[in-house]
Amino acid sequence: MKKNNYLPLAFILLMLFAACEKDNIYEPLPASSELKTSKTDKAKHTGFDQWGYNWNAHHFRGYLMNAWFGDEMYPDAPWYKKEPPFDGNVEAYQEAHPEVLEYPFWIYGDMEVVMHWNETSISKNGVYNENILDSDAWITFHYSQGENENRWSQFQKFVAAKKNDEKVIYVWDDNGNPVYGEWFSQEGELLGLYYLWADRILIQVVNTGNLPNGFLPTYKGPLGQGIGKYK
């Protein structure tokens, strides 16, 4: 992915927690982790790579750690394309690779995530679209962790804002960056939540189980739940 001013999936994964309305949808990664390519001059990634990305299908499934490792936005990061991929055993992996203790996202342990997005949001070659305002771009995050009665999940759905939409920020981080607020139309109608992304509206949050402290509450925005509906 080329560098730009937009948040990489990896950063969103650090800050956002998401999961689908259904539990236990996580399937194991394909037995073959070999990266497949098409037989054209402009080869595109198809199938899942060893970290869990299928850029061609606009899909990721696997561990949060591997979402960071496999994200191509910042190739200079110390964890870029780290091998072997995280296998879910936190203690064994950090013992074999103690450098991970320095990674800011390592605190999330064996958290799982499923992500979907459309071509307008991120291309089949893994390039973030720099201009999604007024488009049909959408992206969803589906997080889960724990087992049986301790399993929790959160699902979040974002759609692209319009150029004339306005955001009101209520929470900033320690560096003065906006974190949380609300989006309004030019006419003053509430559209949804502002959460970290400068050009996307959070329109749905679905929680199941006992979530850790600090998570967003369940939310149903006035735009409805259709993906890409806000145009």
Domain membership of residue 177 (yes or no) is no
Residues of the chain under the 50 pLDDT cut: 1-6, 16-44
Domain membership of residue 226 (yes or no) is no
pLDDT for 42: 42
Neighbouring C-beta atoms of residue 207, cutoff 10 Å: 20
How many Å apart are CA 28 and CA 188, to the nearest integer? 45
- Token pair, residue 65, equals 């750690």
- Token pair, residue 101, equals 């203790």
Q: Are 205 and 219 in contact (CB under 8 A)?
A: yes
At 39 the three-state DSSP class reads coil
How many Å apart are CA 48 and CA 59, to the nearest integer? 9
pLDDT for 11: 54
Domain membership of residue 194 (yes or no) is no
Domain membership of residue 33 (yes or no) is no
Domain membership of residue 14 (yes or no) is yes
Residue 192 is inside which H or E element, if any? strand 190-195
Rounded to 5°, angle at Cα 115 from 109 and 118:
155
- Token pair, residue 155, equals 């699902």
- What value does the CA radius of gyration of the chain take, rounded to a whole number of Å? 18
How many Å apart are CA 159 and CA 139, to the nearest integer? 7
Domain membership of residue 166 (yes or no) is no
pLDDT for 155: 96
pTM: 0.78
Q: How many CA atoms lie within 13 A of 221 on its CB side?
A: 25
Pairing of strands 138-145, 112-117: antiparallel
Number of H-type helices and E-type strands within the chain? 3, 12
Domain membership of residue 165 (yes or no) is no
The domain tally of the chain equals 1
pLDDT for 142: 95
**Structural domain that includes position 125:** 9-25+44-157+200-220
- Token pair, residue 60, equals 């990721």
Domain membership of residue 93 (yes or no) is yes
